[in-house]
Amino acid sequence: MRKILFSDFTLKNINSERKNPLLFREKVDIATAVDALGVDVIELDAVRKFKEDRIICKTISAAVKNAAIAIPAGITAEEIGEAWECVSTAKTPVLQVILPLSTVQMEYTFHLKAPRMMGLIESLVKAAKEKCENVEFVAVDATRAEPEVLKEALTLAVNCGATAVTLSDDAGTLFPTEFAEFVKGVKEYVTVPVFVKVNAGLFMETATAFESIKAGADGVKAVIDAKDQLKIHRIASVIAQKGESFGVSTSLDPLRIRTDVRSLSAKVNTPENEAPEEDKKENIDILLDGNSTIEKISDEALRLGYTLTEEDAGNVLRGLKRVCEKKSSVGAREFEALIASYAQQAPSTYHLETYTATSNNHSPAVAYVELSKGGEMRIEGTGVGDGPVDAAFSAIEQGIGYHYELDDFQINTVTQGKESLGSALIKLRNNGKLYSGNGISTDIVGACIRAYVNALNKIVYDED
């Protein structure tokens, strides 16, 4: 059975599509979630702001346990050095030399003819190889390159140390069978794994990818969700159903693909195309009152992503009735707060003892958190992040030695004035199931930490 490699370029693609960049923690969360799907490579965007990008890349490299981490190497010795420093701590780092091979792209983008482009390929691949064992050569606009230029470039890259090559169909004008023939021709002379990056211009990207695999492609590049790109769950589904008949398989986790891709898609979709999460919640038509039944509670909770036991639903219903003594009904957001407060109640395995968080406008925030476990064992952790809350969450994860996917995070004021109470709602996802935690404090960082610990205790209790 031939194993097909999967390279996910969601994080690289997001930066080119979004007007508003992802937050530090969002990038790390997406990377770890994609790693859990079983992909072989996670691709990061090119280095732009070295000091900031180095922190992000190193954090992702530490969080990703299985997949290789790939990053564009750039086109100068300095850029190659910076790219290498960003991923050098990854379990399997990869430097990508990305250059166009079609006549129009070579001359328009780099103002180079083919012979000088060959010289650039040689120098960059060799320089990258000196830094990193794994070097990928990406042939941009490969399908429009002259056959002899393509062959010379790929052969040269491999001879200079490239351990993989990628054929990128940027034009998107070939039918699946035509692209498969193109791949078959390249496989005749390339001795390293060949990845394909197909185009959705003809709306046949999944078929094109599968035909390429049948023609001998060793790997495909895909994303969680994006316009005009191959989506990982679609090609994974095709291989799961038909791959065995063609002698191919993957390392992807089909269960996680089914359960996690939808929530990941909500995270990676651009704000221009997707309503903010809080707006979606408000648009969910939920209205509950004191006459609601346990069945109604369970059904509406399921619409928000929660699976409640009969006992949990009963606890939420009792909480709802108390609220409805003061107001006639509650909507989606209030209902979710009730779930966090009354459902999935668990013993305090972890208890917050103390914390310290500092932040300024010149460097990342730093936090120290100390927890007790079972009333005796002391656990402490230190973390950095985009703000004191992000740093505190990282500190907790360092202390407990595990990372959970942060599905949602909300902060609201409970009372008014200078000494107002802040309420934090945290939703963690573990094995496809949501666990919500609520925390209240006059210190909003403290409220967030308490909410996280509350959700964490529910996960631990459920696992035990």
403-442 per-position pLDDT tens digit: 888 888 888 765 455 545 567 888 898 887 888 888 866 6
Tell me if 215 sits within 8 A of 190, measured CB to CB.
no
Give start-end residues of each CATH 3.20.20.70 domain in the chain: 2-268
Q: Rounded to the nearest 5 degrees, what angle is found at the Cα of 70, between the Cα atoms of 66 and 71?
A: 150
Tell me if 33 sits within 8 A of 406, measured CB to CB.
no
| % of the chain exceeding 90 in pLDDT | 53
pLDDT band at residue 273, thresholds of 50, 70 and 90? very low
CATH class for the domain made up of 350-463: alpha beta
pLDDT band at residue 26, thresholds of 50, 70 and 90? confident
281 pLDDT higher than 70: no
Tell me if 296 sits within 8 A of 288, measured CB to CB.
yes
Query: What pTM was computed for the model?
Result: 0.61
Give start-end residues of each CATH 3.30.160.270 domain in the chain: 350-463
pLDDT band at residue 280, thresholds of 50, 70 and 90? very low
Which is more confidently placed, 262 or 360?
360
Sheet holding 433-441: strands in order across?
Answer: 405-413, 422-430, 433-441
Q: What is residue 336's predicted lDDT score, i.e. its pLDDT?
A: 76
- Which of 3.40.50.12280, 3.20.20.70, 3.40.50.10790, 3.40.50.300 would CATH assign to domain 2-268? 3.20.20.70
| % of the chain exceeding 70 in pLDDT | 91
282 pLDDT higher than 50: no
pLDDT digits (tens, 9 = 90+) for 369-396: 999 988 778 899 999 988 899 999 999 9
pLDDT band at residue 215, thresholds of 50, 70 and 90? very high
Q: What is residue 132's predicted lDDT score, i.e. its pLDDT?
A: 98
